[in-house]
Amino acid sequence: MPKILDGAAIAAAIKLEVAEEVKALSARGIRPGLAAVLVGDVAASQIYVRNKVQSCSDLGLYSDLITPPATVTTEEMLALVAALNAREDIDGILIQLPLPAQVDAKALLDAIDPAKDVDGFHPVNAGRVQAGRPALAPCTPAGVIEILKRSGIAISGKHAVVVGRSDIVGKPAAMLLLHENATVTICHSKTADLGAITRQADILVAAIGRPGFITAEMVKPGATIIDVGINRITDRVEFDRFFAGNEKREAAFAKRGSTLVGDVHPQAFEVAGAYTPVPGGVGPLTIAMLMANTVRAAKLRRGI
C-alpha cells in the first residue's frame, strides 16, 4: 500500500513551531504583522483570506484586513501598497488574487517591498531563490519541500520531474528541489512524449492545473507523487471518470454537488510508493508556510 503524506498533520506541526517563534519574538517586544488585502466580493477569495487572518489570530500574529472596493484603481492600490511598505507594524503584505480586470496585478506585486513579500512573488525574491540565498520563497513550493523532508522522503540524488512551469509553483518548486540536490526536469504543455519523462521520476510534482491529467501509465512504480492541483468537479460524467465506485466520494458529491480532484488521476496513486491526497495534501501547507514566511520576514527585517 502506498504511503499517504498527511499535509494537514505537517501543517499543524509547522504552525506549532511558528507559534513558539512568535512567543520568543514577543518576549523581545516584537509581534510579527501581516496585512491582507482583499479586493471586492469574490466568495472563494473571502474564504481564503478569512482562513489566513484566523491563522494569524491562532498563532499570535497581528493581522490587518484591508478591503478596497471592486472599483478600486491601480493608482489607488499602488498608494495602499506604498503605505503598507512604510508601516513598521507590518512585516508581510498579502494581496489576494485574482484582482479586478482594471487593476494591473503585476505592477502591484512588483511594488511590494521584497522584504515584506510573504507570497514570494517579487522578482527580487525569485532571483534570491534561484541563487540559493536567504529569501521569502513562494508558500506552496516551500510547502512541497517541507512535506518531503518531514515525511522522510529522500530528495538528494533523486530525479524530480515537475509538470508545470508557472512562476508561482512550477519554477520555484524546481529551484528548491535543485537546491536539495535533486536532478530536476521541468515539463509543460508543449513537452513531447510527456509520459516517457514522468515515468523516470522518483519524485513527481504535478502542478499543471488540469484535473486528473497525470494517469497511472505516466508514473514510475514506487515513485513519490506530490499533487499540487486543486480542481473542483461538478459534472457527473467527470466525477465518474475519477471516482466511480468510491462510496465516500459519492456521498459527498451527492450532498454538495461537487468534489475536489488534483492534477493526478486517483488510479495513479495505486502505482506510487507515497503520495499527497487532494484534499488534505499540499493545500494545508500553503497557509502554514505563509505564517512561517511572515515570522521569517519579521526576523530578517530586524537582522535576527
Catalytic one of 15, 91, 96, 202 = 96
Catalytic residue among 91, 113, 117, 119: 119
| Catalytic pick among 52, 158, 171, 220 | 52
Active site residue 119: yes
In the residue annotation, 167 being an active-site residue is answered as no
DSSP string, the chain: -PEE--HHHHHHHHHHHHHHHHHHHHTTT---EEEEE--S--HHHHHHHHHHHHHHHHHT-EEEEE---TT--HHHHHHHHHHHHH-TT--EEEEPSPPPTTS-HHHHHHHS-GGG-TT--SHHHHHHHHHT-S----HHHHHHHHHHHHTT---TT-EEEEE---TTTHHHHHHHHHHTT-EEEEE-TT-TTHHHHHTT-SEEEE-SS-TT-B-GGGS-TT-EEEE---EEE--HHHHHHHHTT-HHHHHHHHHHS-EEE-SB-GGGGGT-SEE--TTTSSHHHHHHHHHHHHHHHHHHHTT-
**Active-site residue flag, 106:** no
Give the catalytic positions in this structure.
52, 96, 119
